[in-house]
Structure 1
Amino acid sequence: MNNLESGSRRKNSLEDSHIEDQNNSNGNNTTNSNVVKKPDFSARAIKHYFATRFPELIPSKEIFHENKQMLNPFPALKKIPGKQWLLMSAGFWAWTWDAFDYFSVSLNVSKLASDFDVSTTDITWGITLVLMLRTVGALIFGFAGDRYGRKWALVVNLICMCILEIGTGFIKTYRQFLGIRACFGVIMGGVYGNAAATVLDDCPVDAKGFLSGLLQQGYAFGYLLAVVFTRAIADTTSKSWRALFWFAAGICFLIIIFRSILPETTAFKKKIAFAKYQKNHNIAQLTFKEKALVSLKIYWLMMIYMVLLMAGFNFMSHGSQDLFPTFLTKQLNFGDNRSTVTNCVANFGALTGGVVVGHFSNFVGRRLSVIICCIIGGALIYPWAFVTNNGIDAAVFFLQFMVQGAWGVIPIHLSELCPPEFRSLIVGLAYQLGNLASSASSTIETRIGERFPMTNEEGVEIYDYGKVMAIFMGCVFGYVLLMTFLGPEHRGASLVRQLEKDGEEKEIIAEVNDQELLLQEKRNSISSTPDTESSNKELDEDAQKLDATKSDVDV
């Protein structure tokens, strides 16, 4: 390969090859019909797309036969190396602690309101601030993760979180509370994208669904831990909620140490190695900004779709969780202990559903898994919202099984839909923009509740929370089902850039082969060289350079 010719490639040729590379990276081979291409809004293209929504939803008999071994998760889990399990643990705990911090406020609203001498509504404004500013964090830390690596972007993110958790314990006024929660919003928004990339970058294909579901349930696990430690610390110590945040900072520090001693993901290291090789051999390449613009040309419609989908998912999560504790205590008159048990049952259902459905999405597909969860979840709305005896525990378990089961598909589904080189940024941004859209869910439910007033057993006027939640969740399940049915799926898409598809890796391999041939010729000519010692030394140096090149690009 001629380095001078490589260095003089035209920018438009590079952009074209990068577009082709982006397309091919979303499938296992170049014949995959589900690759992302520039949007085509011709009548023929639109007609073809909608005509294929149902046929592509149901896996063919051949696919069922090929993937039937995936029903058993253990062979896939055995393929996961020890390093990947450690990276998965780091990503899971980072996301779990993000959720723990968020729920540490929502579970202590009354205590915070009392300490700052404000209303509970004022404290909930601090929660809204977090939701509003998460998008900023997703942009900042998502960009850093894609540009500089998942490892240190996540570590810096967690360091900032640890500092803010310590500082929260020392705030004295309501204004300080709002200020620190605004900062928390930015910091917490950056965790999801890099945590997902850390878990899924190097994951074997057969295990992606399982780890996707496991990662997503860090949110439910974080809520469970927040409930437990609020009872154990905030309700029993003199420092109350302040001690809870100091405890959170200690655990966050341990997560920071854990992630710091682990390596960068192999996928990102390969990306850097290829870029380094291209630079050293004068192979022209697009800048990070140029790559982003090229990706935007291809993926802009997909990005809009992901935000709309995540808005529905976040409405589904908030709609099934936000008013439910109030429903138990005010409408069903459950005591604190009884209410805690039911909420814990709900979260155990969520944890189970996320892992199970996430794994089976490898077999039946991402879209079909979500649609099945929406249909069964819709059928469970009545017992979940209107049963008043102990049977509600079974209903809430299975409804949250379906809600979080659908959520379990999301990390891998979004990762497969977005540009491989901007996964941390796009996955995190889509999630947080959807979260921002759903921040109005409590207001919407309150508006619906005004239409259905009732009187509880104590004669106090309240809303019919069960009916409100049933109406809201029915609409949300329908919306998510429709968006998923109409949307694309790239199950099995590569999560790393496939350079061999645009010929760059072939050129690199060709050059390595040429160097090996040259090295062999030198070996053959040594016997005829008078200065054998000098020739052997030169030969060893050439061999070391060749080995370094092969190691860098994994040839």
Structure 2
Amino acid sequence: MEPTGEPAPPFGRGVVYTAKQSWKDLFIFKQRVEITNEFGETTTEWAKPVPLRNPITLVAQLSIKDWLFFTVGFTAWAADAFDFHSLAIQQVKLAAYYGKTKTEISTAITLTLLLRSVGAAMFGFAGDKWGRKWPMVFNMIVLGLLQIGTIYAVTFEQFLAVRAIFGLFMGGVYGNAIAMALENSPSDARGILSGLLQQGYCAGYVGAAAGNLGVGAAVESWKLVFWISAGISIAVGLVRSVMPESRQFIEARAAKKAHTGQINSFWKETKSMLKLEWKMCIYVIILMAGFTYYAHAAQDTYTTFMLVEKELGNTNASKASIIMMSGGIIGGATVGYISQYFGRRRLIIIAVALSMCIIPAWILPNAFVGVAISGFFMQFFVNGAFGIVPIHLNELSPPAFRSAFPGVTYQLGSLISAPAAQIVNAVAEKVSITSPSGKQVNAYGPVMGVFTAIIAVILIITAAFGPEKRGRMFELAQAAGVVIPTEGKDVSDLE
């Protein structure tokens, strides 16, 4: 961002004032920014977005070490998604294996999502207090071991218990992964990197779909996909163990030794942060509830929809899933990159609105080609909007809590959206539709279409009236637990 020197009204402090200000800012191309001088004095100015640069030039700024941090963060998030979608994509197999309905199998998805927020809090605060490295190492290795535990769950009750514990550790990945990946990258490259990073989730989905395609349709073949995902998670943890701690975290913690200022305890500062930022916490949780409902509605039961309603068969359904999520990967990188110039909220709203326009084409085709192409464009915009989430959350986060805040708020949003797949399955199994062969089958398409459209409208409204801090700098942030006071000045907004 390029400050213009033109004074701007300060960021709103009240809920209604902030909502009105955010709505008006959507139609002002300049960005409201806070400028802090060397004396700790903060003023609010209008800033012009820097014109988009060649994306190759942007990513070329990253050093080899920066790329390693980004790659491990991306791979950790992809492995997390692979683990999760190993179950979601194979619901039909698991229902046959345990002799349960698809709705009962989707209970495991609900339990996983319910406990993710607890894991996000545990590992997020651990990452902000002790660093990004060892919490992630422990998290990824245990995640892999729990995938193996799922394979050896003999009864359905054991299966549900393991998946519930799995959710605890699944929730710990996101916050540390995005903090590590983005805080070690140049600020003007963070838009495109955010888009790429979020698509680790799509890459995990593609990996699970490819695994499902490779092992075939046999009922017990689901176990091999779980073995593959377990190996990837454990490998990521081992690779992270030989890498150094995040540079920004080390430099921020070094402030303890470099300054003679006050050093507060981590938990005291955490309490202070929650007291000051509780409104932002609630807003981001609502935003992420909308985003995660939106994604789960558009993704989790789509393979089941192709198998049951469209009668595509395991091979074609898996191929269509891979094509579909390839669109998500491209969309996330593209929209994330453009958001660096046009704004986070504007691009979220545009992408979500365009995905709504595609819903009829997404659920009506019967042929493989139609389903695959419409799925590609649907996920281009769904994950295009979601590709902005990592950088948007980091910019809205209290600077010292860029691991805990995004992780906890993201997973609390996921907690609210936990029943999404179960709702779709339950409603679809009570409504019938005529399949291409003339049989009466579960009406997944209409249910998914209506559900996704409702959530999309809510998400657009939430983004339109919410705050944005595009271009916020991470480099000046202190580590949690370190406070260097500026005499006579309010430092609550210092970055």
After TM superposition, the score normalised by the length of structure 1 is: 0.77
In 1, Cα distance between equivalents of 2:3 and 2:273: 19
Q: Secondary structure at the match of 2:469?
A: coil
1:269 matches 2:243: no
Which residue of 2 is the match for residue 182 of structure 1? Answer: 164
The offset of 1:77, in angstroms, is 1.1
Q: 2:185 aligns with which of 168, 185, 203?
A: 203
1:394 matches 2:373: yes
Letter matched to residue 25 of structure 2: P
Q: Is the 8 A contact 1:57 1:368 kept in 2?
A: no
After superposition, residues 7-406 of structure 1 pair within 5 angstroms as: 39-40=13-14, 46-47=16-17, 49-60=19-30, 67-68=50-51, 70-233=52-215, 240-278=221-259, 281=260, 283-389=261-367, 390-406=369-385
In 1, Cα distance between equivalents of 2:455 and 2:428: 16
What is the root-mean-square deviation of aligned Cα atoms in Å?
3.2
Q: Is the 8 A contact 1:189 1:432 kept in 2?
A: yes
Structure 1: gaps of 5 or more residues: 1-25, 508-555
In 1, Cα distance between equivalents of 2:98 and 2:27: 53
In 2, Cα distance between equivalents of 1:386 and 1:338: 17
Q: Secondary structure at the match of 2:185?
A: coil
Q: Is the 8 A contact 2:116 2:168 kept in 1?
A: yes
1:453-502, Cα deviation, whole Å (9 max, x unpaired): 43335554334433322222221221111111100100011224446xx9
Q: Is the 8 A contact 1:146 1:423 kept in 2?
A: yes
The offset of 1:396, in angstroms, is 1.9
Label 1:475 to 1:294 Cα distance change in 2 as closer, same or farther (>3 A).
Answer: same
Letter matched to residue 494 of structure 1: M
Letter matched to residue 54 of structure 1: K
After superposition, residues 474-493 of structure 1 pair within 5 angstroms as: 474-493=453-472
Q: Secondary structure at the match of 1:462?
A: strand
In 2, Cα distance between equivalents of 1:144 and 1:27: 35
Letter matched to residue 348 of structure 1: S
Q: Is the 8 A contact 2:81 2:204 kept in 1?
A: yes
Label 1:337 to 1:446 Cα distance change in 2 as closer, same or farther (>3 A).
Answer: closer
1:144-176, Cα deviation, whole Å (9 max, x unpaired): 001000111111111211322333333333333
Label 1:31 to 1:100 Cα distance change in 2 as closer, same or farther (>3 A).
Answer: farther
Percent identity over the alignment is 36
1:227-249, Cα deviation, whole Å (9 max, x unpaired): 2223334757x973334333333
The offset of 1:271, in angstroms, is 1.5
Label 1:216 to 1:126 Cα distance change in 2 as closer, same or farther (>3 A).
Answer: same
Q: Which moved more, 1:244-253 or 1:301-310?
A: 244-253
The offset of 1:319, in angstroms, is 1.4
In 2, Cα distance between equivalents of 1:199 and 1:155: 15
In 1, Cα distance between equivalents of 2:92 and 2:302: 17
Letter matched to residue 436 of structure 1: L
Q: Is the 8 A contact 2:210 2:319 kept in 1?
A: no
Label 1:364 to 1:457 Cα distance change in 2 as closer, same or farther (>3 A).
Answer: closer
In 1, Cα distance between equivalents of 2:18 and 2:145: 53
In 1, Cα distance between equivalents of 2:246 and 2:161: 35
Which residue of 2 is the match for residue 537 of structure 1? Answer: none
Which residue of 1 is the match for residue 424 of structure 2? Answer: 445
Q: Which moved more, 1:126-135 or 1:331-340?
A: 331-340
In 2, Cα distance between equivalents of 1:331 and 1:174: 26
Q: Which moved more, 1:400-409 or 1:104-113?
A: 104-113
Which residue of 2 is the match for residue 535 of structure 1? Answer: none
User: Which one has the largest radius of gyration?
Assistant: 1
Q: Secondary structure at the match of 1:454?
A: strand
In 1, Cα distance between equivalents of 2:148 and 2:314: 29
Q: Is the 8 A contact 2:195 2:333 kept in 1?
A: yes
Letter matched to residue 473 of structure 1: T
1:435 matches 2:414: yes
Label 1:75 to 1:387 Cα distance change in 2 as closer, same or farther (>3 A).
Answer: same
Structure ranking higher in helix proportion? 1
Q: Secondary structure at the match of 2:152?
A: coil
1:106-140, Cα deviation, whole Å (9 max, x unpaired): 23334444544555444332222111111110011
In 2, Cα distance between equivalents of 1:217 and 1:441: 21
The offset of 1:98, in angstroms, is 0.7
Q: Which moved more, 1:338-347 or 1:261-270?
A: 338-347
Which residue of 1 is the match for residue 398 of structure 2? Answer: 419
Q: Is the 8 A contact 2:88 2:300 kept in 1?
A: no
Q: Secondary structure at the match of 2:433?
A: strand
Q: Which moved more, 1:331-340 or 1:414-423?
A: 331-340
After superposition, residues 461-540 of structure 1 pair within 5 angstroms as: 461-498=440-477, 504=484
1:317-359, Cα deviation, whole Å (9 max, x unpaired): 1111233223323333323333223222211110100011111
Label 1:47 to 1:218 Cα distance change in 2 as closer, same or farther (>3 A).
Answer: closer
1:376-422, Cα deviation, whole Å (9 max, x unpaired): 11221222222344344332211110000000000000010011111
Q: Secondary structure at the match of 1:487?
A: coil
In 1, Cα distance between equivalents of 2:223 and 2:156: 14
Label 1:144 to 1:308 Cα distance change in 2 as closer, same or farther (>3 A).
Answer: same
The offset of 1:252, in angstroms, is 2.4
Q: Secondary structure at the match of 1:53?
A: helix
In 2, Cα distance between equivalents of 1:176 and 1:288: 38
In 2, Cα distance between equivalents of 1:450 and 1:106: 17
In 1, Cα distance between equivalents of 2:152 and 2:76: 24
Label 1:34 to 1:112 Cα distance change in 2 as closer, same or farther (>3 A).
Answer: farther
The offset of 1:450, in angstroms, is 7.5
Letter matched to residue 182 of structure 2: L
In 2, Cα distance between equivalents of 1:485 and 1:443: 29
Label 1:129 to 1:443 Cα distance change in 2 as closer, same or farther (>3 A).
Answer: closer
Q: Is the 8 A contact 1:57 1:365 kept in 2?
A: no
In 2, Cα distance between equivalents of 1:123 and 1:276: 53
How many matched pairs? 470
Label 1:30 to 1:197 Cα distance change in 2 as closer, same or farther (>3 A).
Answer: farther
The offset of 1:189, in angstroms, is 0.6
